[in-house]
Amino acid sequence: MAAVLTADRWEDYALLDCGDGMKQERWGGHVLIRPDPQIIWPRRSGRTWEHYDAIYHRSSRGGGRWEYRTRLPEEWTVRYGELKFRIRPTNFKHTGLFPEQAVNWDWFSPLIAGSGRPVEVLNLFGYTGAATIAAAKAGAAVCHVDAAKGMVDWCRRNAELSGMSQAPIRYIADDCLKFVRREIRRGRRYDAIIMDPPSFGRGKGGEVWKLENDLWPFLRECRKLLSDRPLFFLVNAYTAYLSPTVLINLLGEALGDNVGRGTLSAGEVGLPVQSDGKILPCGIYARWCAH
């Protein structure tokens, strides 16, 4: 059975309750209610959420809007250990951080810090850069790549908040596949790769990304960037119909001869629900680390 890793070490974040397609979360000192397609179980009978600062309403035409009960700051910060992240409710219900990913930061940070050598990390589809900042804080030089310039700028801001403005981080706003292919031609190599590819996306030139069709060719290109002494490889996915077993099979194939030099694992990541002890599944992972 695949492992379910729960991000249960947060102090500035909590999943207070969930049910009927919605979740109630505390982000620092502010409580937000947002929809989540995984929450198909009912809210506990008679329970209503009286306490919240903002709620996100989906639109039947797609997208949605925030309804504010109290005046919130435009942005604020939350802390995870020594890391600090900028939080801002966006038009697409997101806040700029996926707190369940803390289980992966806690996994790869000791690998970097304990490696006893310089480590080059490539973070693809890096979003607002939480994994980038965690890797840099652990001592790695990181190349952060995301197609959206706004997300790359957000990563830079997170680095500043965490006291990492002078850290060896390259900030790249580019299509990930095109960037990977250019790095191959340049002869660049990385000791570790992190990726968080979307289920579906469109490039600036109209290119269509579909995870089930494009992840394997992408992994096949990425393996050409691995150094002679790779340290780890992490793949995250949020596609509900894709199983951890599929991811571990793909990653194993991509690693080739390196598989036997380390350990493969896969499973789900989730968040503990404070009200009743349930686990909210938030995605799947496959990862490999050297012996």
| Same domain for 111 and 200 | yes
Same domain? 167 vs 244: yes
Quick check: is 146 in a domain?
A: yes
Q: How far apart are CA 176 and CA 47, in angstroms?
A: 44
Please report, for the domain that includes residue 38, its CATH number: 2.60.40.1180
Q: Which helix (H) or strand (E) holds 68?
A: strand 64-68
* Residue 270 resides in a domain: yes
Report residue 125 as tokens. Answer: 């589809």
- 3 found inside a domain: no
Residues 105 and 70 placed together within one structural domain of the fold = no
Comparing 32-41, 115-124, 240-249, 257-266, the range with the smallest average pLDDT is 240-249
Q: Is residue 85 part of a domain?
A: no
Residues 128 and 23 in one domain: no
Amino acid (one-letter) located at 197:
P
- The DSSP annotation for 148-211 comes to -HHHHHHHHHHHHHTT-TTSSEEEEES-HHHHHHHHHHHT--BSEEEE---SEEE-TTS-EEEH
At 47, which helix (H) or strand (E)?
none
Cα→Cα distances 143→193, 205, 254, Å = 10, 23, 21
Q: Do 128 and 262 sit in the same domain of this protein? A: yes
Same domain flag for 15 and 133:
no
The answer to whether residue 4 sits within a structural domain is: no
- Total domains in the chain come to 2
Question: What is the domain range of residue 272?
Answer: 96-290
Confidence of residue 62 (pLDDT cuts 50, 70, 90): confident
Residues 253, 207 share a domain: yes
Per mean pLDDT, which range of 45-54, 153-162, 164-173, 275-284 is the poorest?
A: 45-54
Query: What was the pLDDT predicted at 273?
Result: 97
Segment 37-58, tens digit of pLDDT: 999 999 986 678 999 999 999 9
Same domain, 154 and 267: yes
5 lies in a domain?
no
For residue 108, what pLDDT is reported? 98
Between β-strands 120-124 and 141-146, what pairing exists: parallel, antiparallel or unpaired?
parallel
Residue 84, in any domain of the structure? no
> Is there a contact between 131 and 104 (Cβ–Cβ < 8 Å)?
yes
Same domain, 167 and 209: yes
pTM of the predicted model, to two decimals? 0.95
Q: Do residues 191 and 148 share a domain?
A: yes
Report yes or no on 6 lying in a domain.
no
Supply the CATH number for residue 183's domain: 3.40.50.150
Alpha helices in the chain (DSSP H): 102-113, 130-137, 149-161, 176-186, 211-222, 244-255
